[in-house]
Structure 1
Amino acid sequence: MAAVLDQHIIIIGGGVIGLLTAFNLASKGRNVTLIDRSEVGQESSWAGGGIVSPLYPWRYSPAVTALSHWSQDFYPQLAERLLAITGIDPQVHKTGLYWLDLDDEAEALQWAARMNRPLTSVDISAVYDAVPVMGGGYSRAVHMADVANVRNPRLVKSLKAALLALPNVVIREHCQVIDFVREGDRVLGVTTDEGDVLGDSVVLAAGAWSGDLLGKLGLALPVEPVKGQMILYKCAADFLPSMILAKGRYAIPRRDGHILIGSTLEHEGFDKTPTENALDSLKASAIELIPALAEAHVVGHWAGLRPGSPDGIPFIGPVPDHEGLWLNCGHYRNGLVLAPASCQLLTDLLVGDEPIIDEAPYAPAGRLNA
């Protein structure tokens, strides 16, 4: 057992996937070095909205659904644990979510009945009673009362603080991974701009940048950057009591009255410059959803890069023919939603525990191109 616990695991990427993977593995007694090319948690994990549900959960495959359901159930206790350890509250805020004027409402309700999820059709007048600031003109709604949002910048801050408090974790920021250290087919570690770091296993969790790194091994990972832009307003704490979503755009209330409006879907490579066109489009959506925001000041506007992947199904597990190399990447629009389950599954597989769910749909085997 001592030899197993002496294992050194290198994690490339300090977003929520890398941070939570590190936390899980360190909690299992492994020694962990987490490497990030900038500061941890500053890319898509910081930029996202933090709805603890896929935007349209009934449109996803059972593979995404299995991860999201496990994560949704786990998030409250994760937040409590991190708050207890660090004093930083990730603010898992259960507001519920109204979907307005869905084209596929019947499919959504059929999915909910099949999956035993509490999604119900509600009279639109009841929605206006519950959310009086909502814009006019909507005629139908479905509602899920138990959907939460997590304040993702605080989640990554609390995860970093929890890792810094552990004696078996090293975080190396502003450290660029350039290549893998190999001996035959075995991956022994990584080459960085500060020298080699050797370990027993390497976990690639670098989000939209994962494909570039895996390309060093001659493997084609179908993960590409997909830009998303958001804007932020500040209102009274009780201004918006629930999340609302219409025409692909959403409004998310934080506990202190901040309102997030998102988001765009843009294929612009690794360019994450915020644009005036997106700002105007997001403002228009904000005012359509909540007319009173026409008088509110935009306090923030930013962009992030999602790790786009086929069908949004992440890659979780060992890389075939490259002993010692593991993937936990490609979560597309649902990195924050799927993080608890994805990171627990990767941990289970790496340490040899019984996996929380069937790992087969996420296995890199058969999904990478040489």
Structure 2
Amino acid sequence: MSEKFLIVGGGAIGMLSTLLLARSGADVCLLEGRALGRESSWAGGGIVSPLYPWRYSAAVTALAHWSQDFYPGLARLLLEDTGVDPEVHVTGLYWLDLDDEAEALAWARRQGRELFPVDIAEAYQQVPVLGGGFQRAIHMPGVANVRNPRLVKALRAALTAMPNVELREHCPVTGFVQDGGRIRGVTTADGEIRADRVVLAAGAWSGELLRTLGLELPVEPVKGQMILYKCAEDFLPSMVLAKGRYAIPRRDGHILIGSTLEYAGFDKTPTDNALESLKASAEELLPALKDAEVVGHWAGLRPGSPEGIPFIGELPEHPGLWLNCGHFRNGLVLAPASCQLLADLMLGREPIIDPAPYAPAGRF
């Protein structure tokens, strides 16, 4: 009889973990307190790179590089299987007027990544809608963005088609079932649900759930607000980033501008202050947006963690309970590698990368 896994949290991390475990033949039940993929995974920008990759530790870099190489194939597979295209869109990215440009270029040389300085006149030639006054630019041509609402829609469709996957939405988990020194399942409003192993992938809510076991996981909600414009399809040919704010073009001409970084607990209310701040950033980056209508404004909660290094692995003090959470600003970037690493560890396979930096032991 195959093992039964229980995944708590139905964002990109939870859904992709479910997909990879189910593909191995295991029975997987995915529990989500709200609707699948409607929290942080839906709300983010979807740049398939950390905003400033050179500012992160080797642990984040290892996951990011593996995922970046994996995304195009994942998108093709999901499109073939479900008919839903996650739209992995390779546009490249220009960073403008960076304070730590030298560090960025040195990092790229060490890592063998394609990132180089370009003459500012060339940047303006490539991105004619760019605002005036920028002095310097560096460019990474291979960076893509994924249309995250379509990614979670594709993952949901793929999981729905799998006979060994059970999806339970609007089923909040309230705690864990312990039996004989092991975690054997979870408690919900509908009663206990038992499994051989449980994976906690509840994003910003992961810390709240672990508190029921008397554990203080250093994962907290960090609010981010975004706005959305609709422009012509060819309006913005590349992603651009300056002063901590970015513009992301989708294939159909939607332009995402983000994002704020707010420590406001679990409050997800969009605010007028953030709207004005984001509009000001948008118009500084791309002055033509002054005449464009804001067609969307929303907020999501990132799972903030120390240095943005996720927790991936089994909890030694609670065997049977595994973590895949705490990805902070890079959940979508790191999801493929994080979920593959988790599946490798749970299934006893050779892990894709060294799992030690992500192990929960000693990190609480």
Name the TM tier (shorter chain).
over 0.9
Distance 1:106 1:176 in 2: 47
Residue aligning to 2:104: 108
Asked if residue 126 in structure 1 is aligned to residue 122 in structure 2, the reply is: yes
Residue aligning to 2:68: 72
Residue aligning to 1:233: 229
Deviation at 1:184, TM superposition (A): 3.4
Residue aligning to 2:306: 310
Distance 2:317 2:68 in 1: 34
Distance 1:184 1:221 in 2: 23
Q: 1:319 aligns with which of 315, 318, 333?
A: 315
Aligned-pair identity (%): 72
Deviation at 1:138, TM superposition (A): 0.2
Cα deviations by residue, 1:41-87 (Å, 9 ceiling, x for unpaired): 00000000000000000000000000000000000000000000000
Deviation at 1:311, TM superposition (A): 0.1
Q: 2:88 aligns with which of 77, 89, 92?
A: 92
Cα deviations by residue, 1:222-255 (Å, 9 ceiling, x for unpaired): 0000000000000000000000000000000000
RMSD between superposed Cα atoms in Å = 0.4
3-state secondary structure, aligned to 2:60: helix
Residue aligning to 1:28: 24
Residue aligning to 1:43: 39
Distance 2:24 2:360 in 1: 24
Question: Residue type of the partner of 1:193?
Answer: A
Asked if residue 187 in structure 1 is aligned to residue 183 in structure 2, the reply is: yes
Q: How many residues align?
A: 364
**Structure 1: gaps (5+ residues):** none
Q: 2:8 aligns with which of 5, 9, 12?
A: 12
Cα deviations by residue, 1:122-143 (Å, 9 ceiling, x for unpaired): 0000000000000000000000
3-state secondary structure, aligned to 1:285: helix
Deviation at 1:321, TM superposition (A): 1.8
Distance 2:181 2:238 in 1: 52
Residue aligning to 1:196: 192
3-state secondary structure, aligned to 2:212: helix
Residue aligning to 1:366: 362
Cα deviations by residue, 1:287-320 (Å, 9 ceiling, x for unpaired): 0000000000000000000000000000000001
Distance 2:52 2:317 in 1: 36
Distance 1:106 1:321 in 2: 44
- 1:123-202 equivalences under 5 Å are 123-202=119-198
Q: 1:348 aligns with which of 339, 344, 353?
A: 344
Distance 1:184 1:211 in 2: 24
